[in-house]
């Protein structure tokens, strides 16, 4: 199935939104759907700039008053190694092509199921890689967009990820759209939406089939999510609870067929990060005679990127004693069930009339401790700013 959808990805190489309905959007009709994520370098030479933007982001990795200096140093130290990682997985991150493909498919279905808000035009806005938020915002304005949904592709909210993208959009909008041409709303979390739960459950079942039937029920399902510094978690960040909610909902869908654990990956630097660590836990599990195998599930990611293709598929398997016992379930990537569910999610959001979730104001109260030039309440940005 993945190969069939990969052949369709060439369509996404063209600039998004050149198809039917573009003229209507430019005339102020229709809705822009903006997929927001951290992104990744599409080519190896883009790695340095990507890392510098990432380590410069105080919302994601707070490094104190010397953030910019430390970001330059860390980038200098890590770039050669990370470039080798991207070269090893094919010369760059696939997250852009998957994001563009998923956005396109979701908008195609939205045109069918939500004619009142059609046409729907897909965009992608990345925090640290091209197309950057600023580039996409300028394109939205050039296209004459007046109604847009910011759709976070972090299913589980964190101030360090989702809010960082929101903050970036807010700051740039003050510069490029001070009069509020674009009326925004946001899908800021969706940790238990059926499109996420059902697709992951299907992919886990597919992965379990790779083990002999007589041992299958004892295979451990190890969910893995990107870790965060404890500095952020200790502010009351909702991320751990929402990731756990996703895990539990998936296991409910699977009728708790197997033992499972949630672990955390991608820690960087000497500061304490949320654990237990995925790699260390896997190393322990494969040694137990009672564990015939492990299915690794990248539960906080909507597509493949370096954390799945290198950190799990290569680094983790090289680190464990019995790599044949480890299987990673397929990411959401080109699954049509997932794309259809994304469209359903956006349709529900548009019909609800809500501009953001009930939790978002509290997220900002607790999370914006060190953030600069951000709103105090979401009402300051979302909705009709021309009337404020």
Which residues, 6+ apart, have CB-to-CB distance to 115 below 8 Å?
none
CA–CA–CA angle 364, 369, 372 (5° rounding) = 85
**What's the helix, strand, coil split of the chain in %, to 5?**
50, 15, 35
Q: Where do the structural domains in the chain lie, given as residue ranges?
A: 2-190+336-387, 194-328
Q: Along the chain (388 residues), what's the average pLDDT of each consecutive run of 10 residues? A: 41 37 60 96 94 86 80 92 94 96 97 96 96 97 96 96 95 95 97 98 98 96 95 94 98 98 88 93 95 97 94 95 95 96 98 96 91 91 64
Residues 6+ apart with CB under 8 A from 82: 47, 51, 306
DSSP states of 53-101:
HHHT-TTTS--GGGHHHHHHHHHHHHHHHHHHHHHHTTSS-SHHHHHHH
Select which of 57, 177, 304, 344 is catalytic. 344
How many degrees, rounded to 5, is the angle at CA 328 between CA 342 and CA 10?
50
Question: Would you call 344 a catalytic residue per the annotation?
Answer: yes
State the architecture of 2-190+336-387 in CATH terms.
Answer: 3-Layer(aba) Sandwich (3.40)
**DSSP states of 216-262:** HTT-EEEEEEE--BHHHHTTT-SHHHHHHHHHHHHHHHTTT-S-EEE
CA dihedral for 104, 108, 114, 120, sign (positive or negative): positive
For residue 28, the SS3 value is: coil
Give residue 6's pLDDT: 42
Tell me the C-alpha distance between 81 and 226, whole Å: 19
- Taken as a whole, the chain contains a residue count of 388
pLDDT for res 207: 98
Which of 40-52 are b and which e, b meaning 16 or more Cβ less than 10 Å from the residue's Cβ?
bbbebebbbbbbb
Q: How far apart are CA 288 and CA 107, in angstroms?
A: 47
Same fold, 2-190+336-387 and 194-328: yes
Give the residue from 271, 258, 267 showing the smallest Cα distance to 227: 267
**Architecture of the domain whose range is 194-328:** 3-Layer(aba) Sandwich (3.40)
CA atoms within 13 A on the CB side of 226: 21
């Amino acid at each position: 199935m993945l190969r069939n959808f990969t052949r369709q990805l060439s369509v996404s190489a063209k600039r998004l939104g050149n198809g039917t309905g573009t003229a209507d959007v430019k005339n102020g009709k229709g809705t822009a759907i903006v997929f927001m994520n951290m992104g990744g370098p599409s080519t190896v030479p883009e790695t340095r700039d990507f890392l510098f933007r990432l380590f410069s982001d105080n919302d994601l990795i707070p490094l104190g008053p010397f953030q910019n200096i430390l970001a330059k140093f860390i980038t200098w130290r890590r770039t050669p190694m990370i470039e080798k990682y991207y070269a090893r997985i094919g010369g760059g991150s696939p997250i852009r092509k998957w994001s563009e493909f998923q956005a396109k498919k979701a908008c195609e279905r939205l045109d069918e199921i939500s004619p009142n808000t059609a046409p729907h035009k897909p965009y992608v806005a990345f925090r640290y890689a091209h197309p950057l938020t600023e580039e996409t915002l300028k394109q939205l304005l050039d296209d004459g967009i007046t109604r847009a949904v910011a759709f976070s592709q972090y299913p589980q909210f964190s101030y360090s990820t989702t809010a960082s993208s929101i903050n970036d959009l807010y700051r740039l909008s003050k510069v490029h759209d001070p009069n509020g041409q674009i009326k925004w709303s946001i899908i800021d979390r969706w940790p238990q939406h059926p499109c996420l739960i059902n697709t992951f459950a299907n992919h886990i079942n597919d992965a379990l089939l790779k083990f002999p039937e007589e041992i299958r029920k004892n295979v451990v399902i190890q969910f893995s999510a990107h870790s965060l510094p404890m500095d952020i978690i200790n502010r009351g960040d909702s991320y751990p609870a929402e990731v756990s909610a996703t895990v539990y909902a998936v296991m409910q869908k699977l009728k708790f067929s197997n033992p499972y654990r949630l672990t955390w990956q991608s820690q960087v630097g000497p500061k304490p990060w949320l654990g237990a660590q995925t790699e260390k836990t896997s190393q322990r599990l494969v040694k137990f005679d009672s564990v015939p195998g492990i299915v690794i599930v990248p539960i906080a990611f909507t597509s493949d990127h370096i954390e799945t293709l290198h950190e799990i598929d290569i680094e983790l398997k090289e680190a464990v004693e019995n790599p044949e016992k480890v299987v990673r379930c397929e990411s959401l990537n080109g699954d049509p069930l997932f794309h259809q569910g994304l469209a359903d999610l956006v349709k529900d959001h548009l019909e609800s009339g809500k501009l953001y979730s009930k939790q978002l104001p509290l997220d900002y109260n607790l999370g914006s401790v060190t953030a600069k030039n951000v709103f105090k309440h979401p009402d300051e940005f979302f909705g009709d700013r021309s009337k404020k």
